[in-house]
Amino acid sequence: MLRKLQNLLTGESGTILTFVAIALLVLCASAALAVDIGHLQVVRNEIQKAADAGALAGARGLWPDDILSVTTKATPDWTRALPRAQSVIQNALNAVDKSPIDLSSATIQPIQWNYKTKNFAVDSANPNGVRVVITIPQGNIKTFFTRVVNYVIPDQSATAIAVMDHVNAIGPGCLPIAINKQFVVADQSLFINFTPDPLDNGGWFADPPDKASATTFKDYIDNAACPPLEVGDWINLQNGQDTSVLQDLADKLAAHDGAWDVYLPVVNTDKFNQQQPIKAFVPFRITSVSCNNPKGVTGTVLGTAMASMGEPGGSDDTNSLLLSTPKLVN
């Protein structure tokens, strides 16, 4: 029996068994390594998810919770943003490798994001964004294969930057009404008189090459055909009664139960019979439309508001009452 066993191990059959044993060992090691690599990628995604969530929560926390209750121009507040970001990062939904994130692993900074250079500077006095870096120290991520070979997983980190800022652009669908900068007073009723006057407080507009005409204005109202607009864009202004346009506006208002919240561009001019650049955007609540003399639109410039269709990057202008929603920029 002993001789047969020796022959098996030293003969051709023994050689095959040796190769099979080695192949099985390599196969098991490869499978374990593949599982570990997959697990490590999942962990990296979890770290990035937590960093993204913390940055977005922090950016939103820069501004008051109930923005519509602010009847003046809101200002960012870092002391309100920091605990918001910390709370979200530690939330169980953002656990990494089934463990809550220790705040000592997170760096949270208030920043001023530069939209042109795509860079930032730490700024707690006037931040427009929040930067979060989460680093899971080496050895804190456990895997099977690496423990067998005594390999320590190095630090794993993720970075996220989110901003919430004054709106620089709004998406398509703006109503064809612009407001004179002098008359942007939050929480105060405003009657936009479309009869030409030495001091126009507002009027119709069209985005070139669209002509400032009743046909264009009705298309903007009925079909949301106004193209996207940005601060700095030049628009064609017109002041005229245009009863048919006002009637279309009145019909749309009726469908909104008498209170229609919209976003309107602001221009710095007293005469609505020329081209002027957009200076800012404001939230405006239309409450009535008069198709009889005096013909016009009554509403209120709301305080600070948040526009889901707005893109950040606008100037910190007195009339910049419209904020974007929190957005990741890195």
Question: Higher confidence at residue 75 or residue 249?
Answer: 249
Same domain, 50 and 128: yes
Please give the pLDDT value at position 313.
Answer: 87
Does the pLDDT at position 195 exceed 60? Answer: yes
> What is the domain range of residue 40?
16-164
Q: Is residue 185 part of a domain?
A: yes
Is the bond preceding residue 294 a cis peptide, omega within 30 degrees? yes
Please give the pLDDT value at position 150.
Answer: 58
Same domain, 145 and 202: no
Please give the pLDDT value at position 188.
Answer: 87
Same domain, 54 and 143: yes
Please give the pLDDT value at position 19.
Answer: 60
Same domain, 192 and 314: yes
Same domain, 58 and 83: yes
The model's pLDDT over 266-285, given as tens digits with 9 standing for 90+, comes to: 999 999 999 999 998 988 99
The CA distance from 205 to 227, in Å, is 12
Closest CA relative to residue 84, chosen from 60, 109, 111, 112: 60
The model's pLDDT over 207-248, given as tens digits with 9 standing for 90+, comes to: 999 999 999 999 999 999 999 999 999 999 998 878 899 999
Helices (H) and strands (E) in the chain, counts: 6, 18
Please give the pLDDT value at position 298.
Answer: 96
Q: Is residue 122 part of a domain?
A: yes
Q: Average the pLDDT over each of 57-71, 108-122, 257-271 and give the range with the smallest value.
A: 57-71
**Do residues 284 and 322 touch, judged by C-beta distance below 8 A?**
no
Does the pLDDT at position 68 exceed 90? Answer: no
| Residue indicated by tokens 């953002």 | 94
Q: Is residue 119 part of a domain?
A: yes
The model's pLDDT over 126-181, given as tens digits with 9 standing for 90+, comes to: 999 999 999 988 777 776 555 555 556 678 899 999 999 989 999 899 999 999 99
Does the pLDDT at position 33 exceed 60? Answer: no
Please give the pLDDT value at position 317.
Answer: 66
Same domain, 204 and 128: no
* Mean of pLDDT values over 36-56: 88
The CA distance from 249 to 224, in Å, is 12
The model's pLDDT over 239-262, given as tens digits with 9 standing for 90+, comes to: 887 889 999 999 999 999 889 999
The CA distance from 281 to 179, in Å, is 9
Same domain, 39 and 63: yes
Same domain, 196 and 150: no
Same domain, 283 and 152: no
Say how many domains are in the chain: 2
**Does the CA dihedral 299-303-307-311 come out positive or negative?**
positive
Of 142, 164, 186, which residue is a domain's last? 164
Of 147, 164, 181, which residue is a domain's last? 164
Same domain, 159 and 267: no
In this structure, how many other beta carbons lie within 10 angstroms of the beta carbon of residue 191? 14
SS3 category, 163: strand
| Residue indicated by tokens 């976003």 | 263
